[in-house]
Structures are given as structure tokens and as C-alpha cells.
Structure 1
Amino acid sequence: MKIIKTSTICMFLLFLFFAFGCKTASENEKHAIELETLETAFEQYREPAITHRRFKHADIQPLIQKHSSAFEIEELGESVEGKSISSLTWGEGQTKVLLWSQMHGNESTATMSLFDLFNFLEASGDAYDELRQVLKSNLQIKFIPMLNPDGADAFKRRNALDIDLNRDAISQISPEAVILKSIRDAFEPEFGFNLHDQQIYYNVDKTPKQATISVLAPGYNYDRDVNEVRARAMKAIVGMNEVLQQVIPGGVGKYDDGFEPRAFGDNIQKWGTSTILIESGGYVGDPEKQFIRKLNFMIILNALNQIALKGYEAYTVDQYFEIPDNGFQLMDLILQEVQVPVEGEWYPIDIAIRRRESNADSTYYVTGSVDDLGDMQVYFGLEELEVNGLRYEEGKTYDQAFESVNEITGEKALELLRSGYSAVKVQNGDPGDLHNLPLIVLKSRDEFTGGWQTGSNPTFFLKQDDSLKYALINGYLIDLQNPQDQLLKQRIY
């Protein structure tokens, strides 16, 4: 029998201690909140009054006031159109944190999550009390949930002066910009969260993965230097990314850090506040961004805890730079090798389609457009179809007018599509009224012509021999043999 010396055993046990014991200590130093805790906290404290992303200034005023007993609420000033801009302050700690949302009026995802967070912070008597006490005793947090109420009411990016507030940090032409700069200077936060939405067409560079969340520790000079202030932001972002990779693996991108001398994020970093940009992108099946709202809640709450306990110091700047960059290579739909007719000949081309939203009161409609065509191999489609040589077929307009869109059932719409009709006319209803039919609906005109060329509305059919296989209606793909339910938000023409 071979005898193992006691000294050998001791060395082995010592190795195990350092290999595993040190790793556990490092994990503890991060002070990260368990994923399940973050998820259950969101579900328990989600604000039920907000169910979609096109809420207005008036909608959030009662939601602000309901927190008046737990938060210090202050009216900071007014927008160009005279709407109030308020802050909510919570906590008694030494480390100050400022969060501002909806600087761009149509970027409302994080605003929703802030109201969820308000509910969480105000509550008591549950399993999260210890966490709340850590935050309350270590942090003083000031929230500005809607910096651009005029833009929010119109659901547009810019304010009522048609100025991009994120390009008004220096000139401060807008009253909203003056408010943000004044609060930053008076409050002097150590950390700042700049909360935005980005286009859904951002991807994680060179991959088909949608950048559901993008992050940035903005540069404070043209040389993109990293000082202590910016490094703190970078490390905090690494902690946020650690949470996100558990929920949306591969779905996080990093913005380019080129210095923009007019931007608030870049300048607030320059003025000494460690600034973290969070951009909410897209997620398939989440048009109202309710899942992304949850992600915002989770990463902000986790980051606040790590700031309170300095857990971000367990991360490195190198880990920040390992987060992949953003790309802008996504399309809603890519059709590969469609046969299109030109001068009596058929040519195989890829067709890349994007569908853009337009405002319609408190909701929106979608307009599809052929964004590019030819060889589209450098792009990725949220939906892709290899059509294997199917031929382009122009759609027809049904001659007989229907009384209204309500007369057209789903079955009738499918019957018309299978007969080659892509458009119908109605006697009642106004141009601009919305509908969800998989057809183009006409009131003010007799014909509608789609096309495959760039800039055209992608409304046509794909045909094999004499059989129609697919319909494209306003950029939405419909399999005529196996149609699936889709939410087609369209307007009457």
C-alpha cells in the first residue's frame, strides 16, 4: 500500500482552501443580489398603473404624489410648455446618487422601472427590509423620472423648442437643461444614471443578437482617458452586466465612447460624477418593453446595492472593455434571393425591411419600408426567410368596398390574400384611423401599390409557379399556408 505523507495532505488541503475559499470571498465582496431576489422583487412591486410606454405627464403625477410620505418630493421647475418637473429623494446615507429618465420624451422604459423601484423602496415588513436598510443608511438617492414632459406628451425625442436636451448641456437654452445642470451642481452626486432608450436595430456587434440593453461609461475628453471617476462607472457597469448575462446571455452591447462635448452624460462625467448610461433596446415579443422594464429594475437595484457597499470595487476596468460593442446591423425582416422582374428578366436579390413607428394619439401605427437590397449578408434579420427563388408578385386592390373594417373578419382577410388581394376599400372610417387587419385598407384612394425597391412600402406576394406562398403586408410576412397571429398596427389610407 502506498502511504501518503501528512505534509502532502496538508498542502493539498491548503490548495483547496485558496482555490475555493478565495473565490467565495471574492464573490462576497461584490455584494451582488441574487437573481431570484431581483426577479421576485420586481414582480411584487411592479407599478400596476403603468402598462404601456406611451404614458403622459398627467399620468405620473398621482404616482409621484402617492410616495410623498416616504420620499421628499420637490418641484424643480417647469418645461417650455409649463409642465412641472419633479424629483423624489430617498435615503439618509453619505453617498449620493442621481438618476434621471426621459430626457428624450419617447424613451420611457426606465421611467416605468423607476416607479416600480419607488414602490419597492417605500415598502416594509417583508424579506427585503435588510436590503432597504442597507440602501437607506448608505445612500441618498435623487430621482428625476421625467425630465422632458413636453416630449413625453407628444412622444417625441426633442422638447417643445425642438432641441435635443442631450445636446444642451453647455448652452442650456432649454429650461429642462438648466434644471438638470442645477440639480447636478447642487446635489453633487458621486454616481449618476442617465436612462435612455435606443433603436431596436442595435445588435451586439457582428452577431444576430439584439442589444436589448446597451451600456456606456461616457468619455469625458476626446482622448477617452480613464480617470478614477470614469473607472468607478465602468466597474459598476460590469456588475450590471453580470446580472444581465444571467437573463439575456449575449444580449448586452457597449456604446462607442467618443466624446460628445454637448452631451449631458459626457459632461456630468467630466464634472466629477461617475456616470452610467443605460439604453433600453428591443426584445422579440416585447413591443411595449415590459420585459426590458424588468431588466432595468433589476440592474438598477443591484447597482445601488453595490454602490452602497462599494461592491463595484471587486470588478476591473478590463472587464468593462470585454463587453462587446454595439452594432447597427439588424432588420425586422430579410428575404433572401427573391426573384424580381426588371426589363423582362428575373434577378435574385435579398430584400431588407424595417418597420418604423409613428404616433397616433396615445398609441402608434407602423409603416414598413424596404431599407436596402442586393447582397444583405452583413445584416441580420429579427425574422429571416430563404425564399428559394420565389417570384415577386404585385398585389391587387379588391374592387368591392366594404362598409367598414369591422366587416372584414380574419377568415375573410386570409381568403382575400390567398386570392392575390393585398388592399381593400371601405366606405366608412377616416384616413389615419387604426386597424389590425393583415391588409392595406383604403378610404381616401382607390389603389395601393407596394414594391420591392428601396423606399417602397413592402406590400406584395411571393409566388411559386401559379401558387401564392407568402404575402408581405406593410412589411409583415404572412405564410398563406400556415398563418400565425400577428399584431399589425396599421392605419387607414
Structure 2
Amino acid sequence: MKIQITALFLVASLFCAAQEKDLTTMLYDTYEAYKEPVLKKRRIKHADLQPLVEQYRKNEKFKVSQVGTSIEGRSLSLISIGEGETDVFLWSQMHGDEPTATQAIFDIFNFFDSSDFASEKQEILENCTLHFLPMLNPDGSEVYQRRNRLGIDINRDALRLQSPEGQTLKKVRDSLDADFGFNLHDQSTYYNAERTEKPATISYLAPAYNYEKEINEQRGNAMKVIVFMNNIIQKYAPGQVGRYNDDFEPRAFGDNIQKWGTSTILIESGGYLGDVEKQEIRKLNYVSILSAIYSIATENYKKIALEEYEKIPENDRKLFDLKIENVAYSLLGKNYILDIGMNRLEVDKKEHNDFWYSSRILDQGDLSTYYGYETLDATGYIVTPGKVYPILVTSLEALAVLDIKSLLKSGYTYVRVENIPSGKLASPFPIHILGKKYEVPEFSIEVGLNPTFLLKKGETITHAVINGFLIDLNSDKKTNFKNAMIYR
């Protein structure tokens, strides 16, 4: 009899796993039908969300209530759906420049508002009540910055509660006494899964609730749900999951919400090759969060072994946008072999709706334990300084008709332009633009400087690095180049 029961349990477990696997696949394959088209880029603002919030306020499937306001008076809304006993609370954009999950939340609303996946949605909504607080820090979002208008990190305000946004989060958590909480963030794109070249596209943490890092039932449940989500992400971004260090931070909301009895799951959206606006990562948020909610509704997460949580690789931070390896660099008459690590740093435009890049050399020397989204083994190449093109170009229109690749091959990385529009922030061409009187500093490879140089093999210039973008001068393939610099 015991053998029969065990066999039945195994069959049931495999059946549930197959169901969830099929659901995940269907969610991934049908995502475009639910992706909210209004939200296309990372730099979304409170005003972008309000028409959508009002749309759901008028929808009888949802309950929408204003639960607070930001320092500058922007509304904080709680959007709920479902009638089940298990309360699941999801909040996003506690940091204003971390919007990936906010977009995914509105994709999830579209999913629940559709007529598809009827049986799965019925199971979720009969067993769970879902509560979403998107864009907790709308003032920070307005200027695309981490901190709120007071200049504090809301995620370090769980004890003092000086921010109205933090007060709202605490009030909502307490009023719901939520069983599960999803703390949704973005992390730097330069995190990688420990000891691999793969970016930590998604990172997780079941925060500790005390310095001893004890595991009670609530934290254990969070760990199990994380293992479940990790298995999903591995299907679409294999090896690209990290796990945060779980040292207790007594001021943090995640740690305290865990302490207050809500099984808390931190999700951090990192980097994915070629996904500057994080739209593929948004999709992974949508798929994994919905699948996790289904697992909570069916309680299938309970079957997962806790030990699997520790097997997720830890987060590391050893990625560059571009890494040049083993290149020769001449200094004071002697050649040295260097690795050079470069990052492309975003500079917001005035209205915080878009950005341009001002890149920097982040490190140089032996970078053999570091990785790059793009890596070039430059063995046999030598770093060569670029020159200023000797002919003054009258305008950007005149520059546009020049063969810039030929200029680069001839050793020119700078062009003087007589009339540079005052509102132009960056060069749209893969060559730097100089004002008539600007003098280029003496060339050096140095941490903190803009990475601009040529690579020569023998007597031939084969590659250009312009503002941290690598350009293969012998290839016609489209590159990921966005902009060079303007020096007035």
C-alpha cells in the first residue's frame, strides 16, 4: 500500500510539473498578445501609467484604490484582482530608475483582462487575491533617478519611515497581512552569474529576517518559489540567473517584510545581450511572475527541496560592455600587454525620456577574471591614437556625406565642425565632433577617460574604438553603435 501511495504521489507531482511547464511555454509563446503597447521604453513616468490605471478603475474585474501620494503629490495606486484567501502583494519601482517590472505588471493586467487561459486564471483567482502597487517612487521616475524627492533610498526607510512612499508600502503590507510579497527591482547590467561570462539577467533573494539568517516557514516558502522561478528562467536564459548575498539589512523593506511574516521574494532585472531597453527581460518577468503565482495558487511550490536554493550561483559584478584582451600599448618607448574594460554610461536628456552614452575606461591591466558583453582578443594588435581630420567641415550635413569608415581607416577619430547646433548633445556618427577651438588632450589609456583609439595589426588599422563602441573596419555588419561625443 505504501508503495502504491508513493507511486501515485510521484505521478501527481510529474503531472503538476508538466502542467506548469506547459503554462510557462504558452505564456512565453503568446506574450506579444498581452504586452502593453503604451509602455515601450524604460523611461516611463507617472503620467504614462495614469490612463492605464483609470482604464482598470472602470473595469469590474479589478479594484483600484489610491493608497497614498508621493512627496510631490503623485498618486500611489493599489490594483487588486481575485477572491482567494492567499494574498499576494507585488510592488515595483521603489527606485525610480528601475522600471522593468512596472511594465511587466501592466502586461499581467492585460493577461487577466483577456478571455484566454480561462482555467488557469480561475485557479489563480479562486485561490489568491493579487495586489499590485506599481511605481512606488513616481518622483524618482520623473527624473529617472534611484532616490525619491527627499533624496533618500526608500529601500532603507523601513524603520524610520520618513518617506510618504515608505509609509504607504508599510501601511498596505500591514493592512493586507500578505502571505507572499514580490519586491520588484532592476539591478546593474554589469552583474554576472558567479564565475561565468553570462549576465545575471534575473537575480533573486529570499531576504533574511535576522542576522543569524534563520529559515522559518515564511522564508523557506520564498526560497521554494525562487527555485521554481529559476527553473523557468533557465529555459529562456540558461545560466543567466544570480542570487544575492543574504546578509541581513535591518533598514531594508525586503528584510523587514520577511520579518513581519510575508514570504518575500526579491526579483532584480539585470542585463541581456542586445536588450538595451530590457524588453526581453520584461517578458521574462511576465512569464516567471505569472507562473510563480500559479504555483502559489496550486501550492505546487511546496514540493520543492529547500537545498535547491543554495545551488543558484551568487551574483558577481565582473562584466564590461566591451573588453579588449591582450593588446599591446606603447608607453615611454616600451610596449606593455593590457586588457582594457570599458562601460557605456547613460546620460539622460533634459526631459528624462531618452539618453546618450558617455563611455569610460573602468579598468585596465590583467582582467582575466572579468568578462565582456563583447570581447575582442587583440593579441598581435597595438593601440594607436586617433588623429584630428585636417579639413574643417562646415556642418553636420556635410559630415554626413563623408565616408567615415575611410576616415577611421586613415587614422582619424575626430572631425572639426564649424557649425555645431547648440542643442546637439552627441555625435550620431562613429567619429567625435570637435568645435573649432577644442584641443584634444595628449593620448593616454587611463581609468576614467573616454575610450577612443584605433587598433593596428602590422601597418593596417583594422578596428576603431569610439566612445567605447568597437567598430570592425573590415566588416559591413551592423553594429550596436549609438553615439560618439561632441567636444565644443
- TM-score, normalised with respect to structure 2: 0.93
Give the alignment partner of residue 452 of structure 1, picking from 431, 445, 451: 445
Match of 1:307 in 2: 296
Match of 2:307 in 1: 318
Using the alignment, how far apart are the partners of 1:281 and 1:309 within structure 2?
Answer: 29
Instruction: Tell me, yes or no, if the aligned pair for 1:365 and 1:489 is still in contact at 8 Å.
Output: yes
- CA gap of 1:410–1:243, structure 2 versus 1, over 3 A, is farther
Greater shift, 331-340 or 93-102, is seen at 331-340
Match of 1:8 in 2: none
Match of 2:20 in 1: 32
Give the alignment partner of residue 401 of structure 1, picking from 375, 378, 392: 392
Residue 432 of structure 1 and its aligned partner are, at CA, apart by 5.3
Match of 1:9 in 2: none
User: For 2:188, what is the secondary structure of its paired residue?
Assistant: coil
Once the two structures are superposed, the pairs formed by residues 297-446 of structure 1 within 5 Å of their partners are 297-360=286-349, 361=351, 362-409=353-400, 412-426=403-417, 427-430=419-422, 433-443=425-435, 446=438
Residue 38 of structure 1 and its aligned partner are, at CA, apart by 1.3
Residue 40 of structure 1 and its aligned partner are, at CA, apart by 3.1
Residue 321 of structure 1 and its aligned partner are, at CA, apart by 1.1
- CA gap of 1:188–1:420, structure 2 versus 1, over 3 A, is same
- CA gap of 1:238–1:445, structure 2 versus 1, over 3 A, is farther
Residue 66 of structure 1 and its aligned partner are, at CA, apart by 1.2
Using the alignment, how far apart are the partners of 1:359 and 1:333 within structure 2?
Answer: 21
Q: Is it true that 1:57 corresponds to 2:46 in the alignment?
A: yes
Give the alignment partner of residue 277 of structure 2, picking from 272, 282, 288: 288
Instruction: Tell me, yes or no, if the aligned pair for 2:430 and 2:483 is still in contact at 8 Å.
Output: no
Residue 483 of structure 1 and its aligned partner are, at CA, apart by 4.5
Greater shift, 476-485 or 89-98, is seen at 476-485
Give the alignment partner of residue 79 of structure 2, picking from 70, 80, 88: 88
- CA gap of 1:405–1:355, structure 2 versus 1, over 3 A, is same
Give per-residue Cα distances to partners, 1:121-150, cap 9 Å, x unaligned.
1122x3x11111111111111101100001
User: For 2:393, what is the secondary structure of its paired residue?
Assistant: coil
Instruction: Tell me, yes or no, if the aligned pair for 2:469 and 2:481 is still in contact at 8 Å.
Output: no
Q: Is it true that 1:134 corresponds to 2:123 in the alignment?
A: yes
Instruction: Tell me, yes or no, if the aligned pair for 2:467 and 2:483 is still in contact at 8 Å.
Output: no
- AA in 2 matched with 1:463: K
Match of 1:6 in 2: none
Using the alignment, how far apart are the partners of 1:483 and 1:80 within structure 2?
Answer: 51
Match of 2:243 in 1: 254
Give per-residue Cα distances to partners, 1:184-206, cap 9 Å, x unaligned.
11111000000001111111100
Using the alignment, how far apart are the partners of 2:356 and 2:111 within structure 1?
Answer: 34
User: For 1:241, what is the secondary structure of its paired residue?
Assistant: helix
- CA gap of 1:175–1:403, structure 2 versus 1, over 3 A, is farther
User: For 2:282, what is the secondary structure of its paired residue?
Assistant: helix
Using the alignment, how far apart are the partners of 1:317 and 1:108 within structure 2?
Answer: 30
- AA in 2 matched with 1:27: L
- AA in 1 matched with 2:465: L
Q: Is it true that 1:236 corresponds to 2:225 in the alignment?
A: yes
- AA in 1 matched with 2:133: I
Give the alignment partner of residue 454 of structure 2, picking from 461, 464, 479: 461
Using the alignment, how far apart are the partners of 1:442 and 1:339 within structure 2?
Answer: 28
Instruction: Tell me, yes or no, if the aligned pair for 2:211 and 2:248 is still in contact at 8 Å.
Output: yes
- AA in 1 matched with 2:100: T
- AA in 2 matched with 1:452: I
Using the alignment, how far apart are the partners of 2:16 and 2:161 within structure 1?
Answer: 41
- AA in 2 matched with 1:36: T
Match of 2:205 in 1: 216
User: For 1:297, what is the secondary structure of its paired residue?
Assistant: helix
- CA gap of 1:19–1:483, structure 2 versus 1, over 3 A, is farther
Residue 180 of structure 1 and its aligned partner are, at CA, apart by 0.5
Instruction: Tell me, yes or no, if the aligned pair for 1:90 and 1:142 is still in contact at 8 Å.
Output: yes
Give per-residue Cα distances to partners, 1:298-326, cap 9 Å, x unaligned.
00000111111111101121111111111
Instruction: Tell me, yes or no, if the aligned pair for 1:431 and 1:491 is still in contact at 8 Å.
Output: no
Greater shift, 20-29 or 235-244, is seen at 20-29
User: For 2:56, what is the secondary structure of its paired residue?
Assistant: coil
Using the alignment, how far apart are the partners of 2:147 and 2:342 within structure 1?
Answer: 26
Greater shift, 428-437 or 324-333, is seen at 428-437
Give the alignment partner of residue 106 of structure 1, picking from 89, 94, 97: 97
Using the alignment, how far apart are the partners of 2:357 and 2:451 within structure 1?
Answer: 12
- CA gap of 1:379–1:294, structure 2 versus 1, over 3 A, is same
Give the alignment partner of residue 482 of structure 2, picking from 457, 470, 488: 488
Give the alignment partner of residue 138 of structure 2, picking from 138, 149, 156: 149
- CA gap of 1:470–1:235, structure 2 versus 1, over 3 A, is same
- CA gap of 1:404–1:109, structure 2 versus 1, over 3 A, is farther
Instruction: Tell me, yes or no, if the aligned pair for 1:451 and 1:459 is still in contact at 8 Å.
Output: no
Using the alignment, how far apart are the partners of 1:404 and 1:301 within structure 2?
Answer: 52
User: For 1:335, what is the secondary structure of its paired residue?
Assistant: strand
Once the two structures are superposed, the pairs formed by residues 464-483 of structure 1 within 5 Å of their partners are 464-483=457-476
Q: Is it true that 1:207 corresponds to 2:196 in the alignment?
A: yes
- AA in 2 matched with 1:429: P
- TM-score, normalised with respect to structure 1: 0.92
Match of 2:171 in 1: 182
User: For 2:274, what is the secondary structure of its paired residue?
Assistant: coil
Using the alignment, how far apart are the partners of 1:407 and 1:62 within structure 2?
Answer: 44
- AA in 2 matched with 1:442: L
Give per-residue Cα distances to partners, 1:249-306, cap 9 Å, x unaligned.
1111111101111111011001100000110001001101110000000000001111
Instruction: Tell me, yes or no, if the aligned pair for 2:232 and 2:288 is still in contact at 8 Å.
Output: yes
Residue 403 of structure 1 and its aligned partner are, at CA, apart by 3.7
